[in-house]
């Protein structure tokens, strides 16, 4: 009986990254990686699968949708029962938790430990434009530094990375959880501050009316622990707080200082942080058009403890943040009790950023990195073509030898055109007999006869 064929379809929220997309991603990653390394960060690799408790902290209130993983028994394991397998695995939803595990597992790592990592992560969220269930992140984090300079450095790196990518119109929005903690104290919700953060973080999606509705929501039942049921007065205080705006950070900070006047604790501490960071950014001459204090920035993840950051493309605000992060002191506490190791960093949402750059015309699609295609017409000439292609590579040109079955000139030129290869070297019987080659410029649609040395010299000029 013939084997049943299987439809080659994808799961929703997942995608194949064909060469044109993969090359764009590679280009973005290379430029951002260079920025990270210029600040002293080194690479780290961790598994894509972790123990579930490592990712969730063993919390029953963990609020992210994640992918669980299990071993499917193969034929050789058919006599092994499910109970004999360790099945408590999950796919990582970000790279930061794995970093915290590494820091806890390898205490001899030098501190501060500055690492970057490129890797896929998985979240079981509803797919939408520019958002997938499987996507790449490119993180950088500094572990073991409580200095405000490490928070400022996050903004420096975000700014340098966006400039390296050719993006001019962007805004790095930042806030601190300490100010938000102070707000929660003001409205009597210090014990449920994280729920306040979660709601505030949705402002761009649901607006002020949605924020009011969620803050005032009554419990659905006795087990509903997320409903805040705030009074009109306290909701008004939060809305008033979120409406504090200003292009001049010093003016905004003065308003905050008045708001928390006479109080102690996290609120005034947070205001002092924002003030110090703003002053340092001015001294670094990072243009104010590219950063601002934004009190609505909360970040949805529970582990943030201090400054939080989000970067938006000004021309595509609906796309959401393309570069975000924050301070997460104490994340290692789930592995080492009361260790309180400091941490701060951010992550590029590469897939979303590429979507934005494409819409803005800031990145071009290419099917290949090949600069020169060397043709082959018949078996008697293939060694000449093989040797020339090798010599071109040795001289630094990205060179492909045509390996298709159809060796007509038309087919080989069509192949180069489809892959957007700019130059084709043609070696037919006449060229081989005269120790010459024909160089075809695919963009200019010109062709000229050259000696081999003339070919090298010409390409050196055209490709540099």
Q: What is the pLDDT of residues 151-199, one digit of tens each?
A: 999 999 999 999 999 999 999 999 999 998 888 888 888 777 778 878 8
3-state helix, strand, coil in the chain (%, to 5): 40, 20, 40
Q: Which two tokens stand for residue 387?
A: 């040797």
Calculate the average pLDDT of the chain.
90
In which residue are the tokens 């703003």 written?
A: 278
Which has the higher per-residue pLDDT, 367 or 459? Answer: 459
**Whole-number Å distance between alpha carbons of 298 and 176:** 8
Of 168 and 300, more confident? 168
The predicted model gives 347-353 an average pLDDT of 90
Q: Which two tokens stand for residue 229?
A: 């049921």
Q: At what angle do helices 177-186 and 193-200 cross, to 10 degrees?
A: 110
Which residues make beta-bridge pairs with 248?
A: none
DSSP E strands, 39-98: 42-43, 49-51, 68-69, 89-91
For 56, the enclosing helix (H) or strand (E) is helix 52-56
Output 6-9 pairs: Cβ under 8 A, ≥24 positions apart. none
Query: Residue 33's closest CA among 150, 217, 174, 157?
Result: 157
State residue 129's pLDDT score: 65
CA atoms within 13 A on the CB side of 410: 0
pLDDT > 90? residue 263: no
Homologous superfamily assigned to 372-462 = Anticodon-binding domain (3.40.50.800)
Tokens of 16: 């194949």
Q: What tens digit of pLDDT does each residue of 398-440 get? A: 999 999 999 999 999 999 999 999 999 999 999 999 999 999 9
Categorize the per-residue pLDDT at 275 as very low, low, confident or very high, splitting at 50, 70 and 90.
very high
pTM of the model: 0.87
- Report pLDDT for 183: 84
Question: Has residue 330 got a pLDDT over 80?
Answer: yes
DSSP structure string for 88-126: -EEE-S-SHHHHHHHHHH-TTS-SSEEEEEEEEEE--PP
What mean pLDDT do residues 225-254 have? 84
pLDDT category of residue 75 using cuts at 50, 70 and 90: low
Where do the CATH 3.40.50.800 domains begin and end in the chain?
Answer: 372-462
Instruction: Read off the pLDDT of each residue in 440-455 and give the average, rounded to a whole number.
Output: 96
Place of tokens 């000439």: 381
Q: Which pLDDT value is given to residue 128?
A: 75
pLDDT digit string (tens) for 371-408? 999 999 888 999 999 999 999 999 999 999 999 999 99
Region 333-342: mean pLDDT is: 92
Asked if residue 68 lies in contact with residue 108, where contact means CB atoms within 8 angstroms, the answer is: no
Portions of the chain given CATH number 3.30.930.10 = 19-359
Average pLDDT over residues 29-47: 98
Main-chain dihedrals φ then ψ at residue 122, nearest 5 degrees: -135, 130
Question: Largest Cα–Cα distance in the chain?
Answer: 93
Quickly list H helices, 245-398.
249-259, 266-283, 350-359, 382-394
Buried b (16+ CB within 10 A) or exposed e, 23-51: bbbebbeeebbebbeeeebeebebeeebe
Whether the per-residue pLDDT at 30 is higher than 70: the answer is yes
The pLDDT, as a whole number, for residue 81 is: 65
Helix (H, G, I), strand (E, B) or coil at 423: strand
Which pLDDT band, with edges at 50, 70 and 90, does 351 fall under? Answer: confident
Superfamily of domain 19-359, CATH level 4 = Bira Bifunctional Protein; Domain 2 (3.30.930.10)
List Cα–Cα distances, 420 to 16, 183, 443, in angstroms: 21, 56, 9
Give the pLDDT confidence score for residue 415 in this predicted structure.
Answer: 97
Q: Give the whole-number percent of the chain exceeding pLDDT 90.
A: 64
Q: Tokens 């707080």 label which residue?
A: 241
pLDDT single digits (tens) 80-137:
666 666 678 999 999 989 999 999 999 999 999 999 999 999 999 888 766 789 989 9
């Amino acid at each position: 009986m013939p084997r049943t064929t299987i439809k080659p379809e994808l799961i929703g929220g997942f995608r194949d990254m064909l060469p044109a997309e993969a090359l764009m991603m590679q280009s973005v990653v290379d430029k951002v990686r260079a920025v990270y390394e210029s600040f002293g960060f080194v690479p780290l690799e961790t598994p894509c699968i972790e123990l579930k408790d490592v990712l969730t902290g063993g919390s029953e209130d963990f609020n992210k949708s994640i992918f669980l993983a299990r071993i499917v028994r193969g034929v050789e394991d058919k006599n092994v029962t499910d109970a004999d397998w360790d099945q408590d695995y999950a796919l990582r939803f970000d790279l930061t938790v794995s970093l915290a595990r590494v820091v806890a597992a390898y205490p001899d790592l030098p501190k501060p430990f500055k690492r970057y990592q490129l890797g896929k992560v998985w979240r079981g969220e509803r797919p939408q434009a520019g958002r997938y269930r499987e996507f790449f992140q490119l993180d950088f984090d500094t572990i073991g530094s409580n200095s405000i300079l490490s928070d400022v450095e996050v903004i420096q790196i975000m700014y340098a990375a966006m400039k390296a990518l050719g993006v001019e119109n962007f805004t790095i929005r930042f806030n601190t959880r300490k100010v938000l903690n102070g707000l929660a104290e003001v409205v009597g919700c210090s014990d449920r501050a994280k729920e306040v953060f979660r709601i505030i973080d949705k402002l761009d999606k649901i607006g002020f009316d949605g924020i009011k509705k969620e803050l005032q929501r009554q419990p659905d039942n006795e087990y509903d622990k997320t409903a805040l049921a705030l009074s009109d007065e306290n909701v008004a205080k939060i809305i008033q707080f979120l409406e504090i705006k200003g292009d001049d950070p010093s003016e905004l900070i003065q308003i905050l200082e008045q708001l928390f006047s006479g109080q102690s604790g996290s609120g005034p501490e947070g205001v002092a942080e924002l003030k110090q960071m703003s002053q340092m950014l001015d001294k670094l001459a990072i243009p104010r058009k590219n950063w601002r204090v934004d009190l609505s920035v909360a970040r949805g993840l529970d582990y943030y403890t201090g400054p939080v950051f989000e970067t938006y493309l000004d021309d595509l605000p609906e796309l959401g943040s393309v570069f975000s992060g924050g301070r997460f002191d104490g994340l290692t506490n789930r592995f080492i009790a009361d260790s309180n190791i400091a941490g701060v960093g951010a992550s590029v949402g590469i897939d979303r950023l590429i979507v934005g750059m494409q819409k803005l015309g800031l990145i071009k699609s290419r099917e290949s990195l090949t600069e020169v295609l060397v043709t082959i017409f018949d078996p008697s000439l293939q060694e000449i073509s093989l040797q020339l292609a090798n010599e071109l590579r040795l001289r630094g040109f990205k060179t492909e030898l045509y390996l298709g079955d159809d060796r007509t000139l038309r087919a080989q030129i069509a192949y180069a055109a489809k892959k957007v290869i700019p130059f084709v070297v043609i070696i037919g019987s006449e060229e081989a007999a005269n120790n010459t080659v024909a160089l075809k410029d695919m963009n200019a649609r010109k062709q000229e006869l050259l000696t081999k040395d003339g070919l090298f010299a010409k390409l050196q000029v055209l490709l540099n």
